[in-house]
Amino acid sequence: MNTTALLDLLHQEVIPAIGCTEPACVALCVARAKEKLGNEPDSIRVEVSKNIYKNAMGVGIPGTGMNGLPIAIALGATIGKSDYELEVLRDTTPEAVGYAKAYLQRVQPQISIDHNAPDLVYVHVVVGCCDKTAEETIQGSHTGCADSSYCISSLREVYDFAMNVPLKEVEFLMDGAKMNMAAAEKSFMGNYGHGLGRLLHTVSNQHLTNAHSTQMSNIFGDTLFTKILCYTCGACDARMSGAMVPVMSNSGSGNQGISCSIPVYLYALEHNSDEAQTLRALTVSNLTVIYIKQSLGRLSALCGCVVAATGSAAGLTYLMGGQYDEVTFAIKNMIANISGMICDGAKPACALKVTSGVATAVLSASMAMNHSFAESTEGIVEDDIDRTIHNLTRIGHDGMCQTDDVIIDIMTNKN
Residues 288-310, mean pLDDT to the nearest whole number? 93
Q: Are residues 256 and 378 in the same domain?
A: yes
For range 311-340, the mean pLDDT: 97
- The closest alpha carbon to 363, from 336, 383, 334, belongs to 334
Write down the pLDDT at residue 145.
77
Instruction: Using the 3D structure, point to which of 139, 164, 190 is the last residue of a domain.
Output: 139
Q: What are phi and psi of 195, to 5 degrees?
A: 65, 25
Instruction: Report the domain count for the chain.
Output: 2
In a domain, 147, yes or no: no
Judge whether residue 120 has pLDDT over 60: yes
Helix, strand, coil shares of the chain, percent, nearest 5, are: 60, 10, 30
Query: In this structure, are 265 and 403 located in the same domain?
Result: yes
Q: Where residue 207 falls among pLDDT bands split at 50, 70, 90?
A: low
Q: Inform me whether the pLDDT recorded for 185 exceeds 70.
A: yes
- How far apart CA 303 and CA 282 sit, in angstroms, is 21
pLDDT at residue 321, as a whole number:
98
pLDDT, average across residues 211-227: 76
Percent of the chain with pLDDT over 70: 96
User: What is the pLDDT, as a whole number, of residue 214?
Assistant: 63
Q: Which of 45-54, 55-64, 112-121, 145-154 has the lowest mean pLDDT?
A: 145-154
- HSE on the CB side for 403, CA within 13 Å? 16
Residue 58 has a pLDDT of: 84
| CB half-sphere exposure, 133, CA atoms < 13 A | 8
On whether residue 276 sits in a domain, the answer given is yes
Question: How large is the average pLDDT for residues 341-361?
Answer: 94
Asked if pLDDT for residue 369 goes beyond 80, the answer is yes
pLDDT at res. 17:
93
Beta-strand ranges (E) seen in 120-163 are: 122-129, 132-139
- In 43-102, at which residue ranges do the beta strands (DSSP E only) sit? 43-48, 60-61, 66-67
Q: Looking at the domain assignment, is residue 96 inside a domain?
A: yes
Tell me, what amino acid is at 24?
A
Fill in the amino acid letter for 235.
Answer: A
pLDDT, averaged across the chain = 93
In terms of DSSP bridges, do strands 60-61 and 122-129 run parallel, antiparallel, or are they unpaired?
unpaired
Confidence of residue 265 (pLDDT cuts 50, 70, 90): very high
* pLDDT category of residue 149 using cuts at 50, 70 and 90: confident
CB atoms within 10 A of CB 229: 27
375 lies in the same domain as 229: yes
Residue 56 covered by a domain:
yes
Same domain, 250 and 355: yes
pLDDT of residue 204: 64
In a domain, 324, yes or no: yes
Asked whether residue 219 carries a pLDDT value surpassing 80, the answer given is no
Whether residues 380 and 337 share a domain: the answer is yes
Do residue 307 and residue 198 come from a single domain? yes
- 159 in the same domain as 114: no
Q: Give the mean pLDDT of 179-188.
A: 96
Rounded mean pLDDT, 319-326: 98
Check residue 222 and give its pLDDT. 83
What is the reported pLDDT for 87?
93
User: Own/partner pairs for 114-119, CB < 8 Å, 24+ apart?
Assistant: 114/47, 114/48, 114/49, 115/50, 117/47, 117/48, 117/49, 117/50, 119/49
pLDDT for position 1: 73
Residue 217 is predicted with a pLDDT of: 67
Same domain for 328 and 195: yes
Asked whether residue 6 is assigned to any structural domain, the reply reads no
Find out whether 270 and 224 touch, Cβ atoms under 8 Å: yes
Q: Write out pLDDT tens, residues 372-406.
A: 999 999 999 999 999 999 999 999 989 988 898 89
Secondary element (H or E) of residue 113: strand 110-113
What residue numbers bound the domain in which 52 lies? 18-139
Say if residue 26's pLDDT is above 70. Answer: yes
Residue at which a domain ends, from 75, 110, 139: 139
Q: How far apart are CA 203 and CA 332, in angstroms?
A: 32
Alpha-carbon distance of 322 to 313, in angstroms, equals 11
Residues 385, 326 share a domain? yes
Cα gap 63→53, rounded to integer Å: 20
Helices (H) and strands (E) in the chain, counts: 17, 8
Q: Please check whether residues 300 and 339 belong to one and the same domain.
A: yes
Among candidate residues 66, 108, 73, the one with its CA nearest the CA of residue 88: 73
The pLDDT assigned to 103 comes to 95
